[in-house]
């Protein structure tokens, strides 16, 4: 082994603590990059494989009642490969041992028994027999949540007829990877399930013989999707078509897309922070090593080592740090990405996980680590290569400082000598102080950017439940019922208040922009499901127009006073021009609101409602469920308090995990920056600090000089960290926004204070670790060190 190689290993071993601190920061960047790309790739690959193997459809459509003869016309649309028509209805279930009402979505299986599209996977048992009318299969999460097994029986209210059904199997379907019931925000497998039943039984129960109300289409790869959708809409329009839509708007697919996009956003924002900090730390450490190695550099050049060899030597030292960080990041990132991908696969009801971390991900993360560290070390390494032997072997010229106005200001402040030394050091090395401050500020920013989700969750819950949806329960009717039936709803057991609500499917257009939405219509003066402005005040929707959510208004590029077109779907396929009379902030869904009387008059129909919002007497809830199980018109039930608790528990669990991870990351950043900064200070000022000890300064006073500089920089980093954290949080909010939900940007003072306290505490601990070396200094030996 050459002498230069031995020196390389000795230097790396001597710097193990500083190298480890840098490697941990760099490893965080590598691990986050692998985790986000691993999760992104796993979700994408698993979904793609699942869709392909089980022939998931490309286009979907619904209608009130369309004849089976229309299927052949759909097959003849240019670009359509296959068509699957079915009956799709909501039913009320009565499960053994369960008091609460359970909602189910029942789908018909073809008479032939062979499904063409959206093939379910049989996880246990078998599919129902096409000739049996009392057999049913359910989705596996629903069966597991309710303790159901093949062979068990339960009752279902099929269009007013209570039928005993036998469970034959438990299935998973690519159509229901993310299963949400009517009006729900998150999956609730105990209260909502998917049922598959023979076409003969479903058609007879809902008077749909020879007809269908739901259809799925598989397209050729070269097909023009929009042309197919337009042609399908034309065919279904006479039969109450509700508008065809592509896979992108299918609810299960949309939720997974939103999660994948969020992972992609995280991969773009967070890893560069860690790579940048690692580059800065390497620059500091290598620069100081070269300053201490001047004599050795001169000797190496004098005996024949070239400039390139000297430069490469210090680049390799930085490279060893990068390799250590890469290995740490690869190990943690591989484990973490696989663990989190499995968690997501379970959450999204995938039957299997296709996890294949590409070599490209490892290569990209490793190359970025080497490049960032190399860039950090390059300036110092090139400076060492340019040193002439005679210059290198001579002591460096002392730094030249000029007295400035800042020195005069310090003198006027009459500070203590240790404080003057600290402040002068900061002013003499402004770039190093600035980069140290930036590194600590980024640690603060990471904490703020992660912890704001908890405050955002509280804001979402307050806006969605406390201000807007204040009902205890919501009944959904299929089809709509006359508004006069609201009096019968109010007479149900335990109902204190009942308010009607209508949903009308429509396409809103403004110029070339359009959006499929469900317009919500209320009576004036409602108190349960309200429209709330940004100040939290309930507003009455004016009779002369429509109120839009802010995100919907942005997507249509409209403001208050603009006129848009509303093409209503379903029974009356009409287009009306309406004026935008208000814009409100909403976090869940894309809201569009009208006055109920105005909507009924516009469509020339008798007043009707799609849902009833209820305020309940909690003591009468069991009696209410007993009646609802026998109600034929009921299409679904959502208990708002249960939905709120489920929403809060699920989101808070994920937020807690994420916040904990980023807390560890922020501490590692702080430790890496503060520890290396303090070590370099001790190395540079060892002679100065030893002189102070000899002159009579106490250990505390000398320690104050060492620790004080780091802590002042940590304090100065706080405002910058707050600003950067707010910017990163805003970028994450923007990247996470979708048609399904939007995360509010809520930055509370407590979040800033918590982030600052954690970073300041970590900085102090790092400085105290370095401060222990002061007690181990050999004052005589240090004073003999040549400057």
Compute mean pLDDT per 10 residues along the chain, 787 residues long, and list them.
76 80 83 80 85 93 91 93 92 86 90 84 92 92 92 88 91 90 78 92 90 94 91 89 86 82 71 80 78 76 81 86 89 82 76 79 87 87 80 64 63 67 72 81 84 78 82 85 88 90 88 86 87 81 89 89 86 83 84 90 87 90 86 78 74 71 77 77 68 70 77 89 88 70 80 88 84 62 52
Judge contact between 232 and 61, C-beta under 8 A: yes
SS (H, E, C) 269-285: HCHHHHHHHHHHHHHHH
Exposed/middle/buried for residue 143 (C-beta within 10 Å: 0-12, 13-18, 19+): buried
What would the DSSP string read from start to end of 21-67?
Answer: HHHHHHHHHHHHHHHHHHHHHHHHHHHHHHHHHTT--SEEEEEEEEE
Neighbours of 168 (CB within 10 A): 24
Cα–Cα distance, 475 to 275 (Å, whole number)? 53
- Which structure tokens are listed for 443? 């640690």
Distance CA 517, CA 540 (A): 20
Q: For residues 449 and 616, give the distance between their C-alpha atoms in angstroms, rounded to a whole number.
A: 40
Peptide bond into 479 cis (omega under 30): yes
CA–CA distance, 531 with 527 (Å, rounded to integer): 9
Residue 63: both structure tokens together: 């209608």
Q: How many CB atoms lie within 10 A of CB 590?
A: 23
Residue with tokens 């002013």: 427
d(CA 482, CA 64): 17
Phi-psi region of 630 (alpha: psi -120 to 50; beta: other; left: phi over 0): alpha
Distance of CA 756 to the CA centre of its chain: 24
Tokens matching residue 161: 């007829």
Residue among 592, 506, 475 nearest 541 (CA): 592
Whole-number Cα distances in Å, 679 to 123, 218, 285, 286, 620? 60, 65, 9, 13, 69
Name every residue whose Cβ is closer than 8 Å to that of residue 772 and which is 6 or more positions away in sequence: none
Q: Encoding tokens for residue 517?
A: 């939405």
Q: Which residue ranges make up each domain of the chain?
A: 1-59+260-398, 60-257, 422-469+640-787, 495-616
* pTM score over 0.85: no
Instruction: Specify whether the backbone of 125 is left (phi greater than 0), alpha (psi in -120 to 50) or beta.
Output: left
């Amino acid at each position: 082994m050459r002498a230069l190689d031995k020196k390389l290993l000795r230097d790396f071993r001597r710097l193990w603590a500083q190298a480890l601190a840098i490697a941990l920061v760099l490893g965080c960047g590598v691990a986050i990059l692998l985790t986000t790309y691993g999760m992104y790739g796993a979700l994408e690959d698993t979904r793609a494989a699942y869709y392909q193997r089980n022939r998931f459809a490309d286009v979907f459509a619904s209608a009130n009642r369309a004849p089976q003869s229309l299927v052949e016309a759909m097959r003849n649309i240019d670009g359509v490969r296959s068509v699957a028509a079915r009956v799709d209805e909501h039913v009320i279930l009565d499960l053994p041992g369960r008091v609460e009402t359970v909602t189910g979505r029942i789908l018909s299986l073809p008479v032939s028994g062979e499904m063409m599209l959206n093939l379910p996977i049989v996880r246990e048992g078998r599919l129902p027999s096409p000739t049996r009318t009392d057999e049913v299969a359910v989705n596996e999460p629903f069966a597991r949540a309710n303790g159901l097994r093949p062979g068990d029986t339960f009752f279902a209210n099929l269009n007013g007829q209570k039928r005993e059904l036998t469970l034959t199997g438990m299935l998973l379907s690519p159509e229901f990877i993310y299963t949400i019931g009517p009006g729900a925000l998150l999956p609730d497998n105990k209260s909502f399930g998917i049922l598959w039943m023979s076409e003969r039984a479903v058609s007879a129960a809902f008077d749909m013989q020879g007809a269908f109300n739901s259809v799925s289409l598989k397209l050729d790869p070269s097909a023009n999707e929009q042309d197919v959708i337009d042609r399908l809409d034309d065919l279904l329009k006479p039969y109450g078509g509700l508008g065809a839509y592509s896979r992108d708007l299918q609810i299960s697919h949309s939720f997974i897309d939103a999660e994948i996009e969020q992972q992609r956003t995280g991969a773009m924002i967070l890893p560069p922070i860690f790579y940048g900090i690692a580059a800065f730390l390497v620059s500091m450490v290598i620069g100081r090593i070269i300053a201490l190695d001047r004599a050795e550099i001169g000797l190496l050049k004098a005996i024949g080592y070239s400039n390139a060899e000297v430069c490469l030597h210090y680049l390799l030292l930085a490279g060893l740090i990068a390799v250590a960080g890469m290995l740490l990041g690869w190990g943690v990132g591989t484990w973490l990405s696989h663990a989190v991908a499995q968690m997501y696969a379970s959450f999204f009801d995938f039957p299997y996980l296709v996890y294949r971390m590409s070599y490209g991900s490892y290569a990209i993360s490793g190359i970025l680590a080497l490049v960032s560290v190399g860039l950090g070390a390059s300036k110092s390494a090139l400076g060492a290569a340019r040193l002439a032997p005679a210059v290198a072997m001579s002591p460096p010229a002392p730094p030249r400082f000029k007295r400035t106005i800042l020195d005069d200001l310090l003198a006027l402040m009459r500070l203590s000598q240790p404080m003057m030394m600290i402040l002068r050091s900061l002013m003499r090395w402004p770039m190093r102080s600035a980069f140290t401050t930036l590194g600590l500020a980024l640690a603060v920013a990471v904490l703020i950017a992660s912890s704001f989700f908890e405050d955002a969750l509280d804001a979402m819950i307050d806006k969605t439940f406390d201000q807007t949806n204040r009902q205890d329960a919501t009944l959904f009717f299929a089809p709509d019922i006359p508004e006069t039936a609201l009096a019968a709803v109010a007479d149900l057991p335990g109902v204190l208040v009942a308010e009607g609500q209508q949903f009308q499917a429509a396409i809103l257009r403004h110029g070339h922009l359009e959006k499929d939405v469900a317009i919500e219509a209320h009576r004036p003066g409602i108190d349960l499901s309200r429209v709330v402005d940004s100040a939290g005040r309930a507003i009455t929707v004016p009779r002369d127009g429509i109120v839009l959510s802010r995100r919907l208004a942005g997507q249509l590029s409209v403001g208050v006073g603009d006129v848009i077109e509303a093409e209503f779907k379903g029974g009356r396929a009409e287009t009306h021009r309406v004026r935008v009379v208000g814009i409100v902030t909403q976090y869940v869904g894309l809201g569009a609101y009208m006055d109920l009387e105005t909507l009924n008059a516009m469509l020339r129909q008798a007043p009707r409602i799609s849902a009833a919002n209820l305020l309940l007497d909690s003591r009468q809830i069991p009696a209410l469920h007993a009646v609802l199980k026998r109600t034929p018109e009921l299409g679904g039930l959502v208990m708002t308090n249960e939905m709120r608790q489920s929403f809060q528990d699920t989101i808070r669990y994920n937020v807690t995990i994420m916040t904990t991870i980023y807390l560890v990351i922020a501490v590692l950043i702080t430790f890496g920056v503060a520890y290396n900064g303090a070590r370099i200070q001790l190395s540079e000022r060892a002679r100065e600090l030893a002189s102070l000890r000899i002159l009579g300064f106490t250990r505390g006073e000398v320690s104050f000089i060492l620790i004080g500089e780091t802590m002042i920089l940590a304090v100065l980093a706080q405002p910058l960290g707050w600003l950067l954290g707010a910017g990163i949080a805003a970028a994450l909010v923007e990247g996470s926004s979708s048609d399904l939900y939007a995360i509010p940007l809520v930055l509370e003072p407590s979040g800033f204070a918590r982030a600052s306290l954690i970073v300041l505490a970590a900085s102090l601990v790092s400085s105290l670790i370095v401060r222990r070396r002061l007690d181990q200094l050999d004052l005589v030996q240090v004073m003999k060190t040549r400057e």
